[in-house]
C-alpha cells in the first residue's frame, strides 16, 4: 500500500499529533521497526489506536512522519562557518548530527526494515534523507566555491563518505559515534581526499 502524502491525511487536534510523533520515535528507538506496533505507540502516547489510524493508515506512514517531523530527530542546522572542516563539524556534532544519540538509535531501528519494505525505503529517502543530503551538498558546494576542494574531486562520492564511515563504525563495529571519531574521519579522510592532486 502506498504511503499517503501529508495533505491527504486528516489532522490530529492540537498538540496530540506532536505527542504521538514523539512517542513513535521513542518506541522505534527502543524496540526497532519490526517490533513497533500501533498499540505500543498508542499506549506510549496515551492515545487510542483509532486516533492513530485516522491520521496514519500504516505503520510505515506513521514512522516516516515521526522521524521526519518529530522534535527528537531534528534536521542538522546548516551553519556556514567559513571552512569545510568547520561546516562538517557543526553539521555532524550538533542537534540531529551523528553524536545525537536519539537519531542514531532511530536509524538503528530502521536499518533491517529498509531493505525489506520498499514503501518505507522510498518514504525514508524522500522525507528523511533528502533534506539532510541537501544540507550536506550545500556544505561541499561552498567548499568548492572557496577553493577548498580540488577540481578533480568527485563531490557526490565525497559527500557520502563521512556518513558511510560513521554508519559502518556504529552499526557494523558497534562503535558509538563520538566527536573524536568524527574529527578523525574529517581530518584523516575527508580533508585529504578533498584536496586531491592539490595536496602536497
How many residues are recorded in the chain? 200
The verdict on pTM exceeding 0.75 is yes
**Residue 40 in grid coordinates:** 505500543
198 versus 1: the higher-pLDDT residue is: 198
Is the pLDDT at 47 greater than 50? The verdict is yes
Other C-beta atoms closer than 10 Å to the C-beta of 191 total 18
Degrees to nearest 5, angle at CA 99 with 95 and 102: 70
Residue that wins the pLDDT comparison between 103 and 190? 190
What pLDDT score was predicted for residue 154? 92
Whether 198 has a pLDDT exceeding 70, the answer reads no
Report which of 176, 143, 183, 173 is spatially closest to residue 159, judged by C-alpha positions: 143
Q: How many CB atoms lie within 10 A of CB 4?
A: 15
Contact 59, 32 (CB under 8 A): no
SS3 of residue 8 by DSSP: helix
Q: How many CA atoms lie less than 13 Å away from 79 in the CB half-sphere?
A: 15
> Per-residue pLDDT tens for 62-91?
999 998 888 777 888 888 999 999 999 999
Confidence band for 115, pLDDT divided at 50, 70 and 90:
confident
Mean pLDDT of the chain: 86
Res 197 pLDDT > 90? no
User: pLDDT tens for residues 135-191?
Assistant: 999 999 999 999 999 888 999 899 999 999 998 998 888 888 899 999 999 999 999
Cα 18 to its chain centre, rounded Å, is 18
What is residue 74's predicted lDDT score, i.e. its pLDDT? 83
Amino acid at each position: 500500500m502506498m504511503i499517503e502524502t501529508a495533505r491527504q491525511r486528516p489532522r490530529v487536534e492540537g498538540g496530540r499529533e506532536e505527542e504521538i510523533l514523539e512517542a513513535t520515535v521513542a518506541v522505534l528507538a527502543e524496540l526497532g521497526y519490526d517490533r513497533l506496533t500501533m498499540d505500543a505507540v498508542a499506549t506510549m502516547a496515551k492515545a487510542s489506536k483509532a486516533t492513530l489510524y485516522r491520521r496514519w493508515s500504516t505503520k510505515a506512514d506513521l514512522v516516516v512522519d515521526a522521524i521526519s517531523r518529530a522534535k527528537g530527530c531534528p534536521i542538522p542546522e546548516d551553519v556556514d562557518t567559513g571552512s569545510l572542516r568547520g561546516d562538517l563539524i557543526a553539521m555532524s556534532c550538533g542537534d540531529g548530527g551523528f553524536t545525537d544519540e536519539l537519531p542514531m538509535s532511530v536509524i538503528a531501528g530502521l536499518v533491517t526494515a529498509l531493505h525489506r519494505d520498499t514503501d518505507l525505503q522510498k518514504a525514508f529517502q524522500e522525507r528523511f534523507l533528502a533534506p539532510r543530503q541537501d544540507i550536506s551538498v550545500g556544505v561541499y558546494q561552498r567548499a568548492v566555491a572557496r577553493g577548498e576542494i580540488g577540481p578533480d574531486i568527485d563531490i557526490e562520492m565525497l559527500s557520502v563518505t563521512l556518513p558511510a564511515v560513521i554508519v559502518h563504525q556504529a552499526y557494523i563495529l558497534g562503535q558509538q559515534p563520538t566527536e573524536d571519531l568524527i574529527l578523525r574521519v574529517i581530518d584523516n579522510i575527508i580533508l585529504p581526499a578533498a584536496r586531491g592532486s592539490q595536496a602536497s
